[in-house]
Structure 1
Amino acid sequence: MAVPKKRTSISKKSIRKNFWKRKGYWAALKAFSLAKSLSTGNSNFCTKNK
Structure 2
Amino acid sequence: MAVPKKRTSISKKRIHKNFWKRKGFSAALKAFSLARSLSTGNSKFVFVRKKKKE
- The answer for the alignment partner of 1:14 in structure 2 is 14
The list of structure 1 runs, each at least 4 consecutive aligned residues, that deviate by more than 2 angstroms after superposition, is: none
More helix by share: 1
Q: Which amino acid aligns with 1:33?
A: S
Q: Which amino acid aligns with 1:47?
A: V
Task: List alignment gaps of at least 5 residues for structure 2.
Answer: none
User: Aligned residues: percent identity?
Assistant: 78
CA distance in 2, matches of 1:37, 1:31: 10
- The answer for the alignment partner of 1:41 in structure 2 is 41
Q: Deviations over 1:10-38 (max 9, x none)?
A: 10011000000000000000000000000
Please say which structure displays the higher CA radius of gyration. 2
Q: How many residues align?
A: 50
TM-score w.r.t. length of structure 1: 0.89
TM-score w.r.t. length of structure 2: 0.84
Alignment root-mean-square deviation, CA = 1.0
CA distance in 1, matches of 2:40, 2:4: 56
